[in-house]
Structure 1
């Protein structure tokens, strides 16, 4: 099921999730002047975000189980922050050059975003899509604590407790601290990703399947309840479509983890999968600033097409040319520093 140690289905899933989000931000908005049919399809693209969270739960499980807390921290840091620094800088410069009217970002806010401390400091994001990174950090912190206390492999216990407390908080807002230390709205998706990993590894399949089903129910409840945040005045039929798409996502992943062989083997998906993170970070305000600046000269639809291809090109350069250089370099430096401090990295 692997090609060069990469799970091709995950590369496909990553790219489709990122593409859905890009199309949602560019075309799935009521102000879009193009085809109504395009809007009616792309307005559901926000579902790419929970898709990402399921992938994250699965991928983190692949890398965390045999990691020390320090190794886990280093691997997550180099995967998350350096590319954020690059994309945040490009977006910040674009906002200044185009004088984007809907954002007022100063240097202090920009630096706070580089280290994701803007939310605790009650500052705005350089790009609003960065909110998902803070939710990811909460998940990483939980996994790090479990690794630190050497209970990460007690999956059925901590997954059950996490899901139970999240459901309890949804209906009672208790325990009061739970909403601060976890992503309550999206916990079900992270739990689903870990459960899918267990099924993939043929471990604790029964409890993992039960928790996966509960995760599906609670995630559908959340998505239906929050659809109006993404689709203004969402109708019952639109909420039903959201729940159905969520079902399709779960079925896709369950099919992926229970198959013995892959039917997707083209190496192009590896490249497209690699584009996902920088594309997600760079496309939104960078692209919208470009669209706003060029629309008076080129028209909205051509401007959107240009923003899309520029974002894809930048994502390709970052993922294929820059990341292979700076990620290993930073990882080596952090590992060396950790060893010098006597910390266990293995």
Structure 2
């Protein structure tokens, strides 16, 4: 099929190496929560893991790796698709799994009745809309903050697709976003802009977008310069995370450790995009990639509660192994029976109605909805 203009729709074949990298990112965040944050102030775990806490502390940067991957994947997903189709695919990718995982977390916390993990019917209802703090209710699980930023990013991408600017002026959009972000982060310090324009994390998203540009369009001096600028912005704004770590836990990575870790993450991501095409997709990689999102949503509070129950019976290390395996298995079930079902249902709808109201011919989008 072709677009109305006659241009071929892009090939949305998977970059299998990114599937593995997603799991690395999720595992890093899981390690941070279980082996560092859980026994830090405030204390969520009855046991600690001081032997590995120093290494696990690096794990919070897994979220930044997610943002780079998201920039790449969302730019890829946006190719040849209209705004309506793009938004529908993102909704099917994010919301069903979120609603189920959030509800499961509420159920486990309510059953455990641990005052460290309070939940209420009002909180559950507000979290169904994801942006629960806007309704005066806290997140059911603290990891949801990054999902909010992802949705804001999707909203801006949808606007860019609607106006045509993301197709015709992508580098200008990215450059403008990074400039505004730098001004806000280092001059204005506006909390509203930090949320609305994701200024603290724009450098990470921009690295992903620009790597997509370089991979699909080819070498470009301006894209390369912007990529360097994005890496510098990502590194500079990472010091805000360092400040947050000190405020909450009284400890953070040293400056040199943080810079080295950020540059290493960027290098790993860039190498994955540049050379990862040699890795072929397999059912195992597809499963690992698919379970990553529900694993991210499920692992923290349910993991803390389960670890507290099992550690006295099994010992802290055996309990942690059992909990990790259980979280991966539960995440796979959510992916297999909730997320895939929703995405396949949407794919069928797109195949049945290939011309979307925004004017895009999206038979290919329907065929590829499951892997978007």
> Could you tell me the TM-score, scaled by structure 1's length?
0.90
In the alignment, the residues of structure 1 paired with residue 353 and residue 135 of structure 2 have an alpha-carbon distance, to the nearest angstrom, of 29
How far the C-alpha of 1:256 sits from its partner, in A, is 2.7
Which structure 2 residues correspond to residues 141-156 of structure 1 after superposition, within 5 A?
141-153=155-167, 154-156=169-171
How far the C-alpha of 1:251 sits from its partner, in A, is 1.1
Matched residue, 2:368: none
Matched residue, 2:65: 51
In the alignment, the residues of structure 2 paired with residue 278 and residue 215 of structure 1 have an alpha-carbon distance, to the nearest angstrom, of 29
Are the equivalent residues in 1 in contact too, given 2:78–2:86 (CA < 8 A)?
A: yes
Matched residue, 1:10: 18
Matched residue, 2:344: 328
In the alignment, the residues of structure 2 paired with residue 202 and residue 238 of structure 1 have an alpha-carbon distance, to the nearest angstrom, of 38
Matched residue, 1:99: 113
Are the equivalent residues in 2 in contact too, given 1:27–1:39 (CA < 8 A)?
A: yes
Matched residue, 2:198: 183
Tell me which moved more, 112-121 or 199-208. Answer: 199-208
CA offsets, 1:111-157, max 9 Å, x none?
22122131222320011000000000111111111111111121111
How far the C-alpha of 1:333 sits from its partner, in A, is 5.7
2:34 is the counterpart of 1:19: no
Matched residue, 1:205: 220
* Structure 1 residues 335 and 228, CA gap change in structure 2 (3 angstroms): farther
Matched residue, 1:69: 83
Tell me which moved more, 266-275 or 172-181. Answer: 172-181
Are the equivalent residues in 1 in contact too, given 2:36–2:49 (CA < 8 A)?
A: no
Matched residue, 1:161: 176
How far the C-alpha of 1:81 sits from its partner, in A, is 0.2
Are the equivalent residues in 1 in contact too, given 2:141–2:301 (CA < 8 A)?
A: yes
In the alignment, the residues of structure 2 paired with residue 299 and residue 57 of structure 1 have an alpha-carbon distance, to the nearest angstrom, of 41
The alignment's C-alpha RMSD in Å is 2.7
* Structure 1 residues 311 and 189, CA gap change in structure 2 (3 angstroms): same
Which structure 2 residues correspond to residues 1-346 of structure 1 after superposition, within 5 A?
5-29=13-37, 30-31=39-40, 33=47, 36-153=50-167, 154-173=169-188, 178-203=193-218, 205-230=220-245, 232-234=249-251, 238-259=254-275, 261-263=277-279, 267-330=283-346, 332=348, 342=357, 344=359, 346=362
CA offsets, 1:240-283, max 9 Å, x none?
22221111111122223333852566553222111100100000
CA offsets, 1:279-322, max 9 Å, x none?
00000011111112333333333332222111111011122343
Q: Where does structure 2 lack aligned partners over 5 or more consecutive residues?
A: 1-10, 363-372
SS at match of 2:127: helix
Q: Where does structure 1 lack aligned partners over 5 or more consecutive residues?
A: none
Are the equivalent residues in 1 in contact too, given 2:28–2:62 (CA < 8 A)?
A: yes
In the alignment, the residues of structure 1 paired with residue 28 and residue 18 of structure 2 have an alpha-carbon distance, to the nearest angstrom, of 15
Are the equivalent residues in 1 in contact too, given 2:211–2:227 (CA < 8 A)?
A: yes
In the alignment, the residues of structure 2 paired with residue 176 and residue 336 of structure 1 have an alpha-carbon distance, to the nearest angstrom, of 44
Tell me which moved more, 32-41 or 305-314. Answer: 32-41
How far the C-alpha of 1:339 sits from its partner, in A, is 7.5
SS at match of 1:45: helix
- Tell me the matched-pair count: 342
Are the equivalent residues in 1 in contact too, given 2:16–2:277 (CA < 8 A)?
A: no
In the alignment, the residues of structure 2 paired with residue 176 and residue 105 of structure 1 have an alpha-carbon distance, to the nearest angstrom, of 27
Tell me which moved more, 66-75 or 34-43. Answer: 34-43
